[in-house]
Chain A
Amino acid sequence: MARTAQLTTGRHASPDTIRTVRRLWPLFFAALLGVSIIYGVGLANSSALHNAAHDTRHSLAFPCH
């Protein structure tokens, strides 16, 4: 029954789509957070950040100096 109702909703976003989007945003958010953190520790061009994470950057072989 639910499936039939969905098929008749036409151009509107199906409940499935809405549910998918609602469940995907935490995944996007977490992935973006992960990438930002890696960028900050390993690549950000700030002297203070570089000096704080210096030994980490060298250990993990991020391009440094």
Chain B
Amino acid sequence: MELLGRILLPAVISGVIAGAFFTGLQYIEVIPLIYEAETYETAEAAGRSLSDTHGTDSQDAHDGEAWAPDDGLARAGMTLLANIVAAIGFGLLLSVSFVLLSARGRTVVGRAGLLWGLAGFGIFNLAPAFGLPPELPGSEAAALEGRQGWWILTVVLTALGLGLIAFARPVYVRVLGVIPLVVPHVIGAPAPAHHGGLAPEEMAERYIYASLVTSAAFWLALGALTAFVHDRFGSSRRRRISPALSPQSERKE
């Protein structure tokens, strides 16, 4: 139980701070662009219901009876909450990795945390963005299930590839890490029949960079914070948590 606390604590603390920081960053460019794109969506939906002619097939999750937060404070609050929860989820994966490393005698401190954050950005944002660039609401896209499948595949294989490159032994095996890195892009992401969207193309392009830059800043903050809190409270540098996982016992086996 004690170990579980030492994994959870850095994830929760850094998740709350990095999630709040992320929310602030989103309000600079990302969220204004999303809101602006939604005005095109609403206009299009209004036009469709008036004339009832050729509408796009985009499944709009905004209408329908499902619950949605009201625009304004409620929506901002839900976004803050979702950002924090997501950050805790990502932070847990970082925290687990740090505890595993520290049990093997390799302490992760704040600076190395930046590298881990960069890796998280590469795995969850940059690699998927090559096939599925960040999209504004109202963009043309292939079926959701196919895109989610490709996204999951890309995330898992990129993590595997980076893991091999960073940690594989013997060292020459590290070269093989390149294979899982390129496989998803050789397969290719599911593409829509025709590209485009309701918002102007220039806006869609600005959104790609805004989303990537914001996500990168979020990941760097999350990585550094998780490593810092882990180093303070969760590392086994001061109290050895796991003799069974330590390098010495590894040699014995």
Question: Which residues of A are in contact with B by a Cβ distance under 8 Å?
Answer: 3, 16, 19-20, 23-24, 26-27, 29-31, 33-38, 40-43, 45, 47-48, 50-65
State how many angstroms separate the Cβ of B217 from the closest Cβ of chain A. 11
Taking CB atoms and an 8 Å cut-off, the chain B residues in 43-96 that contact chain A are: 58-62, 64, 66-69, 75, 78-79, 81-83, 85-86, 88-93, 95-96
Contact (Cβ within 8 A) B144 A65:
yes
Contact (Cβ within 8 A) B7 A20:
no
Size of B's binding interface in residues, CB under 8 A? 69
Partner of B68, one of A41, A43, A51, A60: A51
Interface: B164 (CB within 8 A): no
Tell me whether A37 and B85 are in contact in the complex, defined as CB-CB below 8 angstroms, given that A30-B96, A51-B61 are known contacts.
yes
Q: List 7 A-B contacts (CB under 8 A).
A: A30-B11, A38-B86, A47-B64, A48-B66, A51-B61, A59-B22, A61-B132
Tell me whether A63 and B92 are in contact in the complex, defined as CB-CB below 8 angstroms, given that A23-B244, A43-B148, A51-B61 are known contacts.
no
Contact (Cβ within 8 A) A58 B136:
yes
Contact (Cβ within 8 A) A55 B31:
yes
Interface: B116 (CB within 8 A): no
- Within the assembled complex, what's the spacing in Å between the Cα atoms of A64 and B138? 10
